[in-house]
Structure 1
Amino acid sequence: MNTNTQGTTTFRAGVLHWLIVLTVPVLLVLPSASAAGHPPHAGKDWVGSWAAAVTPPAADRPAVRDFRNRTLRQVVHLSVGGDRLRLRLTNVHGTEPLTVGAATVAVRTGKTGTPKVDPEKLAEVTFNGEPATTIPVGAEWVSDPVDVAVPDDGDLVISIHLPKATGRASVHYEGLARSFAAPGRATGDPGGAYSAIGTSRYFLDGVDVHSEADGSVVFFGDSITDGVESELGADHRYPDVVADRLVRRPDAHELGVLNAGLSANRLLTDAGLGGEAALTRFARDVLGQTGVRTVVLLEGINDIHNSYGTVDPERLIDVYEQFITRAHQAGVRVVGGTITPFEGAPRHTAEGEERRQAVNSWIRHSGAFDAVVDFDAALRDPEHPTRLAPRFDTGDHVHPNDAGLAGMAGTVDLSALDRSPGRAFRN
């Protein structure tokens, strides 16, 4: 339990009996629950600019694909830029060592949605000074710095040759950008050898940049954070839109934005395509990120929805408190997001709605978080507050459309992301 929130036990004992106030402000900035947060640094340092949470393949797709002697080409959309970069490759869910034969990167200047690059702009990636490496089972591997300058809000094309059978892939299913593959070693190919293989990402979970940014913020959640219903290739996930807002500030080079959303993820249990429970992956996907200062937490809807509302809200609150304790121990601020409406979804029940409201009351009023962003208030229908506003609803009554995701991003107070002791607050 968070020892900085005196009276929390009393509060939680009666949480189901709270009178829910549906007209609360969209954002509540609370007094800091700890001295979490790192002071701004002077000069350049490594920060995270892009990330993806990975999961083992689902039971019906045990290996996902055979990548033996093939080259993967994947495109990632960065938040902040820098004068150098390094890749973070992953074999965390693998079943055998992952051999990387060669890798290249290039800033994309061509049309979105294609594998084409200017071959003169391709730069080789090395690992401990060598072009090839082998990543042990269960490990993440960071490349040497690559002397390629990348812009804010830019696209990076990453090509990885996999000369041997890869075993079980570490995969992010909802990449929302086309991935490509070519036979053999094609890391220097301008694009003609490649064919599209879908929109999942493989063996790649981060890009760091050498930047004047003060650090990074991780958006941690499920399919809503993952942006699963947003436009393909448009980078309209709500963390992407927050990144755009950060870049447009007068002091643009301030925070990298990392999306650790994972579709179908739950707080309490592992979930097939949704991967490991949120508490299990928190250390890797949040605390393990480069330069992390703040995490924005939006999880819980899948636990409520998939249980038909029978989950005990106290159990969800226990997990939130664990997140807060572990993050504060690491000097990371925690911004809590309220759970969004889902009336009309297949497993919505009156009991589930009561659970959602109880958890949201705790998020808003307990004082446990360093700040609160009220996504519920931003997305709900003013005439029917237990459901999404029709203009934000994709039709499944759970996932916001692009307009809804933009509304969520606009709800986030940027100063709550980089607040630290003794620092001026900028918006």
Structure 2
Amino acid sequence: MNRSVPPPTITAVLPLAATPTVTSVSPTSGSTAGGTQVTVTGTGFTGATGVRFGATQASFTVNSDTQITATAPAGSGTVQVTVTTPAGTSNQFVTFTYVTAPVPVLSSVSPASGPASGGTVVTLSGSGFSGATAVRFGGVSAAFTVVSGSQITATAPAGSGTVQVTVTTPGGTSNGVSFTYVSAPVPALTSATPNSGPAAGGTTVTLTGTGLAATTAVRFGATPATSFTVVSDTHVTAVAPAGTGTVQITVTTPGGTSNGLSYTYSGAPNLSGISPNQGSTSAGNTVTLTGTNLTGATSVLFGATPATSFTVVSPTQITAVAPAATAGPVDVTVVTPGGTSTLPNAYFYVSPPVLLGVAPLSGPLAGGNTVTLTGTHLIEATAVRFGATAATSFTVVWDTRITAVVPAGAAGPVQVTVTTVGGTSNPVSYTSPGGTSAPTTYTRVAPPGI
């Protein structure tokens, strides 16, 4: 008799889900009052049913199998953070420390709006910012820099609508302040005039561009302008703050932050010398000024009179044409965007020489005889000429007298001149015998009755 044997039953054994693991939490500390947004990182988080800080359950959101965002409950001391899923509870000793640091308080956000594309540099003001671990625009983290316990600069991420800006520190997460994403056009700058000024600041700069009507901030590098005035949609005037080097000027509006234009902080000029340091009272003498920080010079003055012209050769040299002036010393001044420098009594205006006579009035063709020239302003004579021929030698006796050795010459009269730094004198006549000048005629006048 055959018996029918039922086939064996095969039961599939499914693999058990892995127990979750917690590898890190960020931040690792927060306020005893709770409220700190904590990112929990690990594995096996899918289907999580609980996140605990010590024995206290926290509210949480499962972002992925490897990340959970949890809000720390109130607590104290150092506690273990665990994640529970249907597969079990993590047992890694990853901790969170409750601290008594004050909860940060956010009082203002400036500007309070920016483009949906992000990129707006925003200044957050308030208190308790030291040790900040996060700045969020809504739920999106932003890049930020803690300037002080009461100020943070943050770059708004892309977004839309109106969101709450918050600051997180070990003491907790601040209140929220609104930031609105708008579709206004990003401002654009085309020119800045002037584009340089003194390191002390104070220069009024005219910015030209487009989309400037709603300007909320003007910055020179990272430093806000001392003040600014919106003139129109295409013009803003701003007072430069103190600074150094070359920085970028930017304008911020609800549409975003503009491109940057270079602005250079100039060191104060320092004049150290002038050559030559004297010249004629008439205009036209070219001098070389030396010093430092002369780039961008806007004016060169001799006394109170502007130079006829000047050229900035380098940061250490300027050539200038002296204007006309009366005899005597004057200050020389250079004005640059960085300031003013003056050399007192640095340039001396010399009166042109004046000849009154020569004695004797004549001499041999071979020259060699000594004559005496009289006049005024002769003290700085650089040349004595008989016609076009220089005197064999000369000696300045004093300001009103020169002795000169006559050179050889042709018969006839020649014009004697004296040259000084003040110019060339009027001529006086000197004659070599045998010249062609008309002889003197004597007319005898007879007494009456003869």
Scaled by the length of structure 2, the TM-score of the pair is: 0.24
Richer in strand (by share): 2
Higher relative contact order (CA 8 A, sep 6+): 1
Richer in helix (by share): 1
